[in-house]
Amino acid sequence: MANPLRDPADLRLPRVAGPSAVVLFGVTGDLARKKIMPAIYDLANRGLLPPGFAIVGFARREWADEDFAQEVHDAVRSHARTPFREEVWQQLSQGIRFVAGDLNDPSAFDRLKHTLHEVDRARGTLGNHAFYLSIPPGLFPIVIKQIKESGLAQRPEHGWRRVVIEKPFGQDLRSAQELDSVLSEVFSPDEIFRIDHYLGKETVQNILAVRFANEMFEPLWNSNYIDNVQITQAEDIGIGGRAGYYDGIGAARDVIQNHLLQLMALTAMEEPLNFDPEHVRQEKEKLLASVQVPADIGAHTARGQYSPGWQGGVPVCGYLEEEGIPADSQTETFAAIRLMIDNRRWAGVPFYLRTGKRLGRRVTEVAVIFKKAPHLPFGRDFVMDSADNALVFRIQPDEGMTLRFGSKVPGSAAMEVRDVTMDFQYGDSFVDASPEAYERLILDVLLGDPPLFPGEQEVDLSWRILDPILAQWTEQGQPPGYASGGWGPSEAYAMIARDGRIWRRP
Amino acid sequence: MIRLHDISGGDIAGAISSERHRMGSPTTGMVLTLLIMSNESHQADATQSAVDSAREHPMRILTMVPRPGGDADVIDADIAVGGDDGPGEVAVVRLRGARATHANSVVIPLLLPDTPIVAWWPAHAPESVAKDPIGLHAQRRITDTAMADDPREELLIRARNYIPGDTDLAWTRLTPWRTVLAAMLDRHVSPVESAQIGVGKNNPSGVLLASWLKLCLNVEVTLSDSAGPGITDVVMTTAEGDLSLSRIDGAVASLSAPGVPDSTVALARRSSAELLAEELRRLTPDAVYGRTLAGVENVPATNGD
């Protein structure tokens, strides 16, 4: 029976997650402490978690419930977005449990099962359990096997089971399919949530709103007016303490495979039939399927590895000197590729995707760069000091949009045109409304609302694009070095110069 | 802050604009104009609440304070733009003497072009806010029946004159309660047979909650006086047993329901700035409020009335 207090017209009432317990594997990791735990608190603070809620930590630590609660408390204190409120913490802390054990030990999973029964009764979580695997992908098979064999994956009559995994979704097409077969043996597709924390749902919806809720952009959104599209994700930091994860994975697998290809799909896809998850996914799949990998991979891709240098006035070490990285590592920390899309809308418009660590600044953006005006009627006194028109979706920091166009310099005697920008920042117009990506992601998992999580098919299509490029790179051996604190290796500049274009400085 | 004496509405607009230029940020991302219609005793608190919520909704805040009587027929204004107080622009305009009744002509040149207008009466509001000259500009009109001497009578006045786009802070205050109550019924499927609400004396939110529950559940809802603050408890009776939510300290509520352990849930009373920020999040008419308000006349008085 429908809840009589819920009315679709009642827009004030937020959707609150139903009673549920989150089982967190990998509680000592950075991600759990800096992102997942604070996001759960922020959700509670915003009143979006139900009274019947529990967090069950699982790790190889000799901790009691209180010790784990203290860990969560410290993580929340240092990293939560919203202010700390004692009453909210009290509500949350009542549902915190810890299970000590090894992932290989079946009896630990029996204890986990026992603990979940206990919280179902004591906290009223009603048998709804989400398993959050915040652990290296290599450990997924063993955890999934244990979950299955201990009977934890068995759905109660009225409850649900969900599993959350983080990117990377495999290392290539083959391993992605293996991972999927491990997962789908135990969970059905609608129970598997693939989270890419780079790609918040807000961002996705913001892009879709600009494209499909307005009349003034879509008519220009094709090869008649657009010259090229540059999608950039840059980090100013190195790999930090993530050597174990990063080495052997590299920039293309870490960022391009999901994040940049998803941004590309959202920027370039056709309008979905409607915003049902299934239809949005169909359009993204169609777009990814029409992507053309360059025939001459050497000419249209570039990679690099950061060398020692100076960044913002601070000396920094090179990738090979990072702790835990083998001195002969061939992992790339910068990757740039050119992709073409074989359809009527985009024929001839290159999409340049680049990502790297230790670049000039931390930024993620999609820059749509327009063609030059076909004719300039200004005559002899005309001074053109203007680049091409551009529409930029800034993803982070300062999420928003910039429109760049030429304007006359006031007062100058000559007809002098210079670039100006019109800026829109979400932070200016809707300050409080931007929840951290993880909050949306976790709430969607608890609500069972998967619209914008990539499906298995999209993951496979992305690997089909990357696999041939990665194979060629492997043959090329050591990636060229690039100076930390700049915008990547000279190969990247050469690659785009071959097309007669330049990279935008983000 | 800049103090201007004996000026017109156009002068105020000019002063705000030149202040912006002086600070080097002539263009701004203002999303709306908020008109506050207040008397002298409420204007400071109301303006401050608006300034606080301007962090979420950057806006131009115009507080109009009619000061009839006195010798001089002049308009004075205090203007503040940007700075530590937040991103908004604020003008507190005093309309002295015979100018007191001409707020509307002062406001017109000050309205930001092509952005929504919201009007707020923090204390006393005209009978029909939608037909008031200031209210006519606004697509959303905010009143606060809790400030009236007889809140229940005030709700009936609002109901008689309701036009979509009207809203009231007594309704806004209910959102966290309604959220938790709806979440409770997500878990319990057996029908509610009756409901009881305990609420501090003279609190219009209790009456609105009763009307809303009656409307949604189609059952008898009784109201009784409690020591407050605000709403203190709600009990929904079902065949399985009582679902109850009670909050005696204005901050944390305890929740009990058949078949599940008791628990607590944060349910703190909110500041005017938070309430205003919620109101400004959506500027389309609140149909649920309209229906709830219309049902107020069917809500029986409390046993204390």
How close A455 comes to chain B (CA, Å)? Answer: 29
- Answer yes or no: is B158 within a domain: no
| Residues B104 and B204 placed together within one structural domain of the fold | no
Sign of CA dihedral B293, B150, B281, B299: negative
Q: Which of A11, A50, A52 sits opposite B282 (nearest CB)?
A: A11
- Is residue B194 situated within a structural domain? yes
Please state whether beta strands A351-356 and A226-234 pair in parallel, antiparallel, or not at all (unpaired).
Answer: parallel
Query: With an 8 Å Cβ cutoff, are B187 and A18 in contact?
Result: yes
| DSSP H helical ranges for B188-222 | 204-217
Q: Are residues B128 and B75 in the same domain?
A: yes
Q: Which two tokens stand for residue A55?
A: 């967090």
Tens of pLDDT along B175-185? 999 999 998 88
pLDDT the model gives residue B195: 96
Domain count, chain B: 2
User: Has residue B242 been placed in a domain?
Assistant: yes
The answer to whether residue B156 is domain-embedded is no
Domains and CATH numbers, chain A: 20-166 (3.40.50.720), 199-497 (3.30.360.10)
Same domain, B134 and B10: yes
Distance from the Cα of B52 to chain A's closest Cα (Å) equals: 12
Residues B63, B192, single domain; the answer is no
pTM: 0.85
Whether residues B102 and B31 fall in one domain:
yes
Nearest CA in chain A to B259: A124
pLDDT for the residue numbered B37: 96
pLDDT of residue A344: 96
Query: What six digits make up the tokens of B236?
Result: 């929904």
* Residues B186 and B131 grouped into a single domain: no
Q: Residue A247 — φ and ψ, nearest 5°? A: -65, 130
Nearest Cα residue in chain B from A16: B183
User: Is residue A279 annotated as part of the catalytic site, yes or no?
Assistant: no
- The answer to whether B148 and B202 are in contact (CB under 8 A) is no
Judged by CB atoms closer than 8 Å, whether chains meet at A428 and B58 is answered as yes
Residue that is last in its domain, among B143, B158, B187? B143
CB-nearest to A51 from B251, B265, B277 is B265
Flag if A4 and B178 touch (Cβ within 8 Å). no
> Residues 26 to 65 of A: which have CB under 8 A from any B CB?
44-45, 47, 50-52
What mean pLDDT comes out for the span B38-48? 94
Residue B154 lies in a domain: no
What is the pLDDT averaged over residues B66-89?
A: 83
> Does the CB of B55 have a partner CB in chain A at under 8 Å?
yes
* Residue B139 and residue B6 in one domain: yes
Domain around B239: 169-305
In a domain, B37, yes or no: yes
- The residue of chain B with its CA nearest to that of A43 is B266
Could you tell me if A102 and A110 are in contact, meaning their C-beta atoms sit under 8 angstroms apart?
no
Pairing between strand B140-143 and B192-200?
unpaired
- pLDDT above 50: residue B232: yes
Q: Which residue of A has its CA nearest to B190?
A: A1
From the CA of B4, how many Å to the nearest CA of chain A?
Answer: 28
B266 and A85 within 8 Å at the Cβ level: the answer is: yes
B87 and B195 part of one domain = no
Q: Is the peptide bond before A506 cis (omega within 30 degrees of 0)?
A: no
Asked, for residue B108, whether it belongs to a domain, the answer is yes
What's the pLDDT at B305? Answer: 47
To the nearest whole Å, the CA of B154 is away from the closest chain A CA by: 23
Q: Quick check: helix, strand or coil at residue B87?
A: coil
Q: Is residue B209 within 8 Å of residue B292, measured between CB atoms?
A: no
At B132-170, the pLDDT tens digits run 999 999 999 999 999 999 999 999 999 999 999 999 999
Asked if B139 and B224 sit in the same domain, the reply is: no
The answer to whether the beta carbons of residues B255 and B245 sit under 8 Å apart is: yes
Decide if B159 is inside a domain.
no
- Could you tell me the pLDDT band of residue B87, with boundaries at 50, 70 and 90? low
Digit-by-digit pLDDT tens for chain A (506 residues) are: 678 998 888 999 888 888 899 999 999 888 899 889 999 999 998 888 888 899 999 999 999 999 999 999 999 999 998 889 888 898 899 999 999 999 999 999 999 999 999 998 888 888 899 999 998 878 888 999 999 999 998 887 778 999 999 887 888 999 999 999 999 999 988 899 888 777 777 777 889 999 999 999 999 999 999 999 999 999 999 988 778 788 888 999 999 998 999 999 999 999 999 988 889 999 999 999 999 999 999 999 999 999 998 887 888 999 999 999 999 999 999 999 999 999 999 999 999 999 999 998 999 999 999 999 888 888 777 777 778 999 999 988 878 899 999 988 888 777 888 888 888 877 655 555 556 778 888 998 999 876 567 888 999 999 999 999 999 999 999 999 999 988 999 999 999 999 999 999 98
What is the predicted pLDDT for the residue at A342? Answer: 96
Residues B132, B230, single domain; the answer is no
CA–CA gap between residue B266 and residue B250 (Å, rounded)? 10
Residue B74, CA distances (Å) to A37, A214, A215 in order: 58, 46, 47
CB B147 within 8 A of CB B170: no
Note whether A7 contacts B: Cβ–Cβ < 8 A: yes
Which among A73, A129, A259, A300 is annotated as catalytic?
A259
Residues B7 and B126 in one domain: yes
B216 and A CB contact within 8 Å: yes
For residues B174 and B233, membership in a common domain is answered with: yes
CA gap A243, A370 in Å, rounded: 40
